[in-house]
Amino acid sequence: MKKTLVVLAALGAISGTVQAQAQEQIKVLSTQELVTTCKLPASPESRSFCVGYTSGIYETYLATRHPQRARPFICVNQPAPKRDDVIADFVKWAGENPQTADKPAAGTVLGYLAMRFPCAKK
């Protein structure tokens, strides 16, 4: 009987935790939040976050795009521009396009990269 009560109590606790986590909303970084973090001069922590976040977006694009099923839409010619120059240009572009401020940062960065580094039309 005691084992049954312990198991039921444990299941109840787990169920409550799962429900709380299911209701938790995951905050998506906005373009304005990313721009604020990436503005220069940045602290070492801000710069690290900015470089890591923006590089992660681009690397994810490269890793998840299947070349036979999805045509590339970002084509960076080599030698590639300096990362800090691209980030600074993104910050400037986002400031000139305030309609992107409340949009998810990852999508905005991909859109910017597609505009800045378009692929040649075939």
In a domain, 97, yes or no: yes
Give residue for tokens 């070349």: 67
Answer whether residue 20 shows pLDDT above 70. no
In a domain, 18, yes or no: no
Q: What is the pLDDT of residues 24-61, one digit of tens each?
A: 777 788 999 999 999 877 688 999 999 999 999 999 99
In a domain, 83, yes or no: yes
Q: For residue 22, what pLDDT band results from cuts at 50, 70 and 90?
A: low
Q: What is the pLDDT of residues 83-114, one digit of tens each?
A: 999 999 999 999 999 999 999 999 999 999 99
**Burial of 97 (C-beta count, 10 Å sphere; 0-12/13-18/19+):** middle
Give Rg (Cα) of the chain: 21
Number of domains in the chain: 1
Q: Which domain holds residue 56?
A: 31-116
In a domain, 84, yes or no: yes
| DSSP-H helix ranges across the chain | 2-23, 31-38, 44-64, 83-96, 105-116
